[in-house]
């Protein structure tokens, strides 16, 4: 419990939810985050709805899963304050024509690594 507010401390597990393939979700689980592995648009849609209902502040979703439910992802991204949706590539790399994770980092911080 938080001594100041008398409420339970919020952990990374509570702040993040991961949606993607088995490998991605498993990797984030090793870091202590919760999530759902999905292979279909329906599974991705249900996982995203679960994260929204749980008021999860940040949803990490693979670009492949996001592409399966692009309309829902865009609706949340452009019309809702939360959750923040972060698209990440799978271990196979980004979808063709999309920037790599390194390209996104370079663009965000202006540093070449």
pTM: 0.76
Report d(CA 76, CA 51) in Å as an integer: 12
The answer to whether residue 1 is domain-embedded is: no
Provide the residue-wise pLDDT of the chain in tens; the chain has 113 residues.
444 556 666 666 779 999 999 999 999 999 999 999 999 999 999 999 999 999 999 999 999 999 999 999 999 988 988 899 999 988 887 777 776 666 766 776 766 65
The answer to whether residue 7 is domain-embedded is: no
The answer to whether residue 90 is domain-embedded is: yes
- What pLDDT score was predicted for residue 96? 79
The answer to whether residue 101 is domain-embedded is: yes
For residues 91 and 102, the answer to whether their CB atoms sit within 8 Å is no
The answer to whether residue 77 is domain-embedded is: yes
Specify the number of domains making up the chain. 1
Percentages of the chain per state (helix, strand, coil), in multiples of 5: 45, 20, 35
- What pLDDT score was predicted for residue 81? 87
Distances (CA, A) of 101 to 77, 91, 112: 19, 11, 12
- What pLDDT score was predicted for residue 95? 76
Domain limits for position 60: 12-109
Tokens at 2, concatenated: 């938080």
The answer to whether residue 56 is domain-embedded is: yes
CATH of the domain at 88: 3.40.50.10580
The answer to whether residue 92 is domain-embedded is: yes
The answer to whether residue 4 is domain-embedded is: no
């Amino acid at each position: 419990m938080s001594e100041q507010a008398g409420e339970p401390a919020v952990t990374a597990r509570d702040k993040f939810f991961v949606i993607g393939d088995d490998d991605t979700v498993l990797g984030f689980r090793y870091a202590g985050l919760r999530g759902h592995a999905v292979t279909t648009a329906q599974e991705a849609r249900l996982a995203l709805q679960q994260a929204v209902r749980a008021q999860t502040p940040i949803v990490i979703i693979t670009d492949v899963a996001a592409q399966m439910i692009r309309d829902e992802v865009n609706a949340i991204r452009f019309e809702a304050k939360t959750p923040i949706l972060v698209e990440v590539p799978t271990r196979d790399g980004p979808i063709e024509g999309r920037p790599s994770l390194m390209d996104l980092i370079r663009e965000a911080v202006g540093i070449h690594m």
